[in-house]
Every structure is written in structure tokens, then in C-alpha cells.
DNA sequence: TCTGGGGTCCTAGGACCC
DNA sequence: TCTGGGGTCCTAGGACCC
């Protein structure tokens, strides 16, 4: 049996831990640039605020209903996530972190325990240790565990636990779940399946021919089909996966037109990618740069462009990455547009220790490597970007809007040092 | 009128997830 | 005025090989 443990309205719950006055009140957390609502408390959901709804569309509602609004504080959420996961890992034999607010737990070694009881224990322990409310779904496969979790949220809000551990319960779960609410079925597949008359997950399991699924939905659909029938097809990820791509991109706080300002942003994104690469001990073989105008402004001429440059050798040194990113920008930048967003991606990542040095690279490479080590050390102690490359500049005309940011409650060491 | 039978590697784009 | 930012996997099709 597999459990999926999911934090309820995670970002909102994090804010509440450090501001208990928010308990029982409508509360939302906004995306970067204070753009859209990306986490909503139950009270906010009841007011009709939708997932990913643009903030400016609900200004009046927010005022009228006194909704508490927060800018996203990812440093806080990441740290709280780490704590929640730690507590759970200590309670189960094997666990796999699936996202910032979800973790799968393998309960196969615990067959003599009442699983629903175990779920309650996990939920209570996480609550006591971190203050974060969670929901636990238990079932024979990952896909069914996701479904059980969803069912618990909807139908067992008090207990926060649901275990589908008999054939009858699994069948009940399947029949209670609409096809579009199955993990792995998005808009396209939902349209395809409901068009064929499959309304619930049980319809699919009972009536869909496997060959048809294979043909229309590829092996992805076939796997899903088996998972619903209780046959495990999604492998257990033993260790945290090494990422294959790394991306840093942002919308600007306001539209920008000047090349040097776009260049500053690209430099900053590149430097951030470099940091992420070095942290994961991987190197990129290709650098991808993109920029775009605001598609929501039909009055503006539109421009979407991107380019991928190959590196002579894989690297994670910001010095080398910057050279390529700047060259890429030169190649795609056009005057006369209002740019709204840009980004940098690192592609084809390989482990740092597998990098082949080019014949003539060795000297500067070692020098740059030492430089980046020191930069990372300093920034870790004194705060993000305290030491940075000149191209990143200080202007930041384009920087994020963060009107309602909460404190660095759990990670403020460097701020204390800076202040002193 | 008739035009082989294997392969590999790469990329773009589509589907999905949080 | 104001609309997020990350990721994954799979497939089809093109370019190339013998």
C-alpha cells in the first residue's frame, strides 16, 4: 500500500503558522509580481476565488471581504516543506518527495498495522511538529493514492485520512472520481474520454479497451489504466532525481524596452541558473535564452523569440554562462518592443565530475572555479547577490512587485548579519 | 509501371504535473 | 494599470548512416 500525504493549501498554511490570527480567515498567496492567486485558504475558496485567478480581477472582493493577501515567500515555503518531509520520513520505511507539498510513502512493510490509524498518526505528528495541516490518502498504487487523498479532502474533512484498502473501497473510490480528476488526465484527455462516454474512473476501468487507450493516449495512458486497476506502473524513485533542465525566468515588474535593462535581467537569471547548477553539482551543455512581449496587450506589437547556444564544454561557471547568454541576447533582441518577460534555461545537464575539459580551457577554468566557490560562500553567509557580476547592475527597473511579503521567519540569519 | 530494409540521433511540440 | 514559474515524459518526423 502507498500513502500520498499532501499539505492543505500549503502556502496559506505556512503563512498561518507564523500569523495565527489568520486562522479561520480568508487568505490568499499571490504568484510572482503579485499576479495571480496560487494558494487559497478554504474561506477564500468559499468566496469564489479561483486557482490562478489574476489579482486585479478580484480587487473589489478582496476589499469587501477583507481577504488577507500575501506575496509569495518561497524561501519560507521551501524551508517549511523540508521540515514537513523530515517528520514524515522518520515515520515510514520509505518515502519519495513528489513536490513542495506532497510526499509518497511506501507502507508495504506495515501490513500488520491499521493503515487508517497510521495515517492519523502521521497527520497528527506533522501538525504537532510543524503546524502544517495535511491530508493522507492510502491505496494500492500511486495513482489510486492520489485519488484517495482527493477523496479524503472532499469527503473526510474532519479526519483528513482515507484508506482504500479493500476491493470494494477501491471500486467506490473509482466511481466517486470524475475522469477529469484523475491524476494524469488533463484537459485534452478529459475531452477525449468524456466524448467516448466515460464519466467516472470506474467507467474507464470497466469498459475501455486497452488497445484503444494505447492508441489514443500512448503508453502514458496505458500505464495510467493499469494503475487504476491496482497494478503498480510508476516506479519508486529511490533518490531525489537529478534535474535534466534548470530554468530561471521572470515577468518584469513593468514593461521594459531598453536593451541594457533586458541584459541586466538575463545576467541575473543566468547567474541564478549557475548557482542552481553548482548546488546540484551539474554542468550545462547548452544555454537557452528567451524573451517575449505581453500577450495580454493586443495594442502592442508582439514578439516571442528564443535561441539555444551550444557550449564548447559543459560548465556551471557563471563567467562562461554569462558570455553565452549575452551573445544569445544579442542575436534575438529587437528594438521597438515592450518586453514583459525573459528567461534563461540550462539544458542537457551532466554531472560535474563527468565534464571533459577542452584542450585550452584548463587555466581560466580553474581560476574561475575558485572564484565561483568564493562567490557562493559569501552569498550564502551574507545574502543573495551580495557579491555579483557587474552586468547584473543595481538599477533593477524591472524587479518584481512584492507588495505583501511576509518575514523570513525560519531563515533570517543573513539578514541579521547584514543589518549588523 | 516500377523505387529496400534496416538502424540511430536529434528536435519540436504536445501532453501532463505542481 | 494589473494575468507565475518551474518541471517531466512521449511521439512523430527529419536527417543521417549502412
Read off the pLDDT band of A365 (50, 70, 90). Answer: confident
Read off the pLDDT band of A181 (50, 70, 90). Answer: very high
How many angstroms separate the CA of A235 from the C1' of B5? 36
Domain A8-76 identical in fold to domain A246-392: no
- Tell me the β-bridge partners of A69: A28
Contacts of A54 (CB under 8 A, 6+ apart): A35, A36
The pLDDT assigned to A392 comes to: 81
DSSP 3-state of A386: coil
Task: Confirm if A274 and A345 have CB atoms less than 8 A apart.
Answer: no
Q: How far is CA A205 from the centre of its chain?
A: 31
Q: Which of residues 306-365 of A touch strand C (CB under 7 A)?
A: 340-341, 343, 345
Q: What is the pLDDT of residues A214-239, one digit of tens each?
A: 999 999 999 999 999 999 999 888 67
Q: What is the pLDDT of residues A25-65, one digit of tens each?
A: 999 999 998 999 999 999 999 999 999 999 999 999 999 99
Provide the 10 A C-beta neighbour count for residue A166. Answer: 9
| pLDDT for residue A417 is more than 70 | no
How many angstroms separate the CA of A241 from the C1' of C7? 12
CA gap A28, A67 in Å, rounded: 7
CA gap A377, A106 in Å, rounded: 37
Instruction: Put the strands of the sheet holding A68-71 in their side by side order.
Output: A37-40, A27-30, A68-71
Class (C level, CATH) for A246-392? alpha beta
Residue among A341, A340, A383, A401 at smallest CA distance from A70? A401
The pLDDT assigned to A355 comes to: 80
Nucleotides of C under 7 A from a protein CB: 1-11
The pLDDT assigned to A112 comes to: 75
pTM of the model: 0.91
Q: Which of residues 357-386 of A touch strand C (CB under 7 A)?
A: none
How many angstroms separate the CA of A215 from the C1' of C13? 18
How many angstroms separate the CA of A222 from the C1' of C11? 15
Which nucleotide's C1' sits nearest to the alpha carbon of A253? C2
How many angstroms separate the CA of A211 from the C1' of B5? 28
Q: What is the pLDDT of residues A274-284, one digit of tens each?
A: 999 999 999 99
Which nucleotide's C1' sits nearest to the alpha carbon of A33? C4
What is the CATH number assigned to the segment(s) A8-76? Answer: 3.40.1170.60
Domain boundaries, chain A: 8-76, 99-228, 246-392
Amino acid at each position: 500500500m502507498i500513502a500520498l500525504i499532501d499539505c492543505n493549501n500549503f502556502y496559506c498554511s505556512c503563512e498561518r503558522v507564523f500569523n495565527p490570527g489568520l486562522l479561520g480567515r480568508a487568505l490568499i498567496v499571490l504568484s510572482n509580481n503579485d499576479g495571480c492567486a496560487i494558494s487559497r485558504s478554504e474561506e477564500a475558496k468559499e468566496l469564489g476565488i479561483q486557482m490562478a485567478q489574476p489579482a486585479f480581477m478580484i480587487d473589489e472582493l478582496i476589499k469587501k471581504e477583507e481577504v488577507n493577501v500575501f506575496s509569495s515567500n518561497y524561501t519560507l515555503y521551501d524551508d517549511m516543506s523540508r521540515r514537513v518531509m523530515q517528520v514524515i520520513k522518520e515515520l515510514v520505511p520509505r518515502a519519495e518527495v513528489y513536490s513542495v507539498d506532497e510526499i509518497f510513502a511506501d507502507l508495504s512493510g506495515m501490513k500488520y498495522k491499521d493503515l487508517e490509524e497510521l495515517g492519523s498518526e502521521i497527520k497528527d505528528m506533522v501538525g504537532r511538529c510543524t503546524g502544517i495541516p495535511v491530508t493522507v490518502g492510502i491505496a494500492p498504487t500511486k495513482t489510486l493514492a492520489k485519488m484517495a487523498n482527493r477523496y479524503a479532502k472532499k469527503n473526510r474533512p474532519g479526519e483528513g485520512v482515507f484508506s482504500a484498502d479493500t476491493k470494494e473501497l477501491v471500486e467506490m473510490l473509482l466511481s466517486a472520481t470524475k475522469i477529469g480528476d484523475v491524476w494524469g488526465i488533463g484537459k485534452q484527455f478529459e475531452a477525449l474520454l468524456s466524448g467516448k462516454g466515460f464519466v467516472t474512473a470506474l467507467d474507464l476501468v470497466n469498459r475501455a479497451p486497452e488497445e484503444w487507450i494505447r492508441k489514443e493516449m500512448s503508453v502514458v495512458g496505458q500505464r495510467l489504466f493499469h494503475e487504476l486497476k491496482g497494478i503498480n506502473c510508476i516506479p519508486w524513485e529511490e533518490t531525489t532525481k537529478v534535474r535534466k533542465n534548470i530554468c530561471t525566468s521572470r515577468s518584469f515588474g513593468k514593461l521594459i524596452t531598453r536593451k541594457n535593462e533586458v541584459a541586466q535581467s538575463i545576467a541575473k537569471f543566468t547567474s541564478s541558473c549557475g548557482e542552481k547548477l553548482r548546488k546540484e553539482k551539474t554542468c550545462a551543455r547548452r544555454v537557452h535564452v528567451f524573451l517575449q512581449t505581453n500577450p495580454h496587450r493586443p495594442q502592442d506589437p508582439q514578439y516571442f523569440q528564443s535561441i539555444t547556444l551550444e557550449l564548447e564544454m559543459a560548465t556551471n561557471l557563471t563567467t562562461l554562462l554569462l558570455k553565452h547568454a549575452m551573445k544569445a541576447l544579442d542575436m534575438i533582441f529587437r528594438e521597438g518592443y515592450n518586453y514583459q518577460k525573459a528567461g534563461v534555461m540550462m539544458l542537457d545537464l551532466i554531472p560535474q565530475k563527468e565534464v571533459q575539459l577542452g584542450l585550452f580551457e584548463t587555466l581560466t577554468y580553474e581560476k574561475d572555479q575558485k572564484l565561483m566557490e568564493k562567490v557562493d560562500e559569501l552569498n550564502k553567509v551574507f545574502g543573495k547577490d551580495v557579491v555579483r557580476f557587474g552586468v547584473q547592475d543595481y538599477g533593477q527597473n524591472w524587479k518584481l512587485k512584492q507588495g505583501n511579503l511576509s518575514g523570513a521567519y525560519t531563515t533570517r540569519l543573513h539578514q541579521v548579519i547584514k543589518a549588523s
